[in-house]
Amino acid sequence: MNTSAKIIDGKVIATRIKDRIQQQVKKMDKKPGLAAILVGDDKASAQYVKLKKKACEYTGINFHRYSFEGDCGQQEIIEAIKFLNEDPDVDGILVQLPLPAKYNEDKIITAIDPKKDVD
């Protein structure tokens, strides 16, 4: 019985996947677009969005960042989502969670067209 573990390098695998996506995007007539919505000033959330932007830049996917202050109205965020739902340049929408406590996450997330919800 062979009980030795195989060590995998996650960074190498991730790079291979991103390279494959990059090649697929290069062949497309219209580049896909990802919109990320960031609400408030959570540092971890901002870092996550920054990494998504970097991955999009690497692969050739258009990246659109929408930032809102933590004290903006919930309806303002929902209106932005409605706009993005209709925007032909946006193929995927990501609302970075967690949202500040004052917002109803379910209401905001359900405003995303299911065809564009990347989570």
Measure the CA–CA gap between 43 and 34, rounded to whole angstroms.
Answer: 21
Q: Decide if 51 is inside a domain.
A: yes
Distance CA 3, CA 25 (A): 40
In a domain, 50, yes or no: yes
Structurally, how many domains does the chain consist of?
Answer: 1
Judged against a pLDDT cut of 70, whether residue 63 lies above it is answered with yes
The pLDDT of residue 7 is 86
Residues 6+ apart with CB under 8 A from 72: 39
What are the beta bridge partners of residue 65? 36
| Whether the predicted pLDDT of 3 surpasses 90 | no
So which residues are the catalytic ones?
A: 52, 96, 119
The domain of 40 spans: 31-110
Q: Judge whether 17 lies within some domain.
A: no
In a domain, 69, yes or no: yes
Structural domain includes residue 100: yes
Q: What is the pTM of this model?
A: 0.87
> Is 7 among the domain residues?
no
Q: What is the pLDDT of residues 4-59, one digit of tens each?
A: 788 889 999 999 999 999 999 999 999 999 999 999 999 999 999 999 999 999 99
